[in-house]
């Protein structure tokens, strides 16, 4: 699947997303669930393990890495 089709997907955080550190999210891609590295879209948001997140866009320089934000209403 092309990276640009990841924008808008809802995923589950499996490795906490923290300021200045890579986290990890699981995203449904076709008929599989795949792991991607994740970075907070605003650069400062923390998203805890188990929370849902939304992919804003693929990271412009790192492959298999997405920029995410917390899903509204998720802990």
Please state, as a whole number, how many other Cβ atoms lie within 10 Å of the Cβ of residue 8: 9
Residues 29, 75, 39: CA angle, nearest 5 degrees: 50
pLDDT tens per residue across all 75 residues of the chain: 456 689 999 999 999 999 889 999 999 998 999 999 999 998 888 999 999 999 999 999 999 999 999 998 876
Count of domains for the chain: 1
Residue 23 lies in a domain: yes
What pLDDT score was predicted for residue 1?
Answer: 46
Rounded CA separation 50/6 (Å): 19
Note down the domain range covering 48.
Answer: 3-70
What pLDDT score was predicted for residue 74?
Answer: 74
Give the CATH number of the domain where residue 35 resides. 2.40.50.140
What pLDDT score was predicted for residue 4?
Answer: 61
């Amino acid at each position: 699947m092309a990276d640009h089709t990841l924008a808008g997907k809802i995923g589950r955080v499996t490795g906490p997303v923290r300021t200045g550190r890579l986290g990890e999210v699981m995203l449904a891609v076709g008929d599989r669930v795949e792991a991607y590295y994740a970075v907070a879209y605003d650069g400062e948001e923390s998203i805890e393990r188990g929370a849902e997140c939304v992919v804003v866009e693929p990271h412009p320089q790192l492959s298999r890495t997405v920029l995410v934000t917390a899903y509204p209403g998720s802990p």
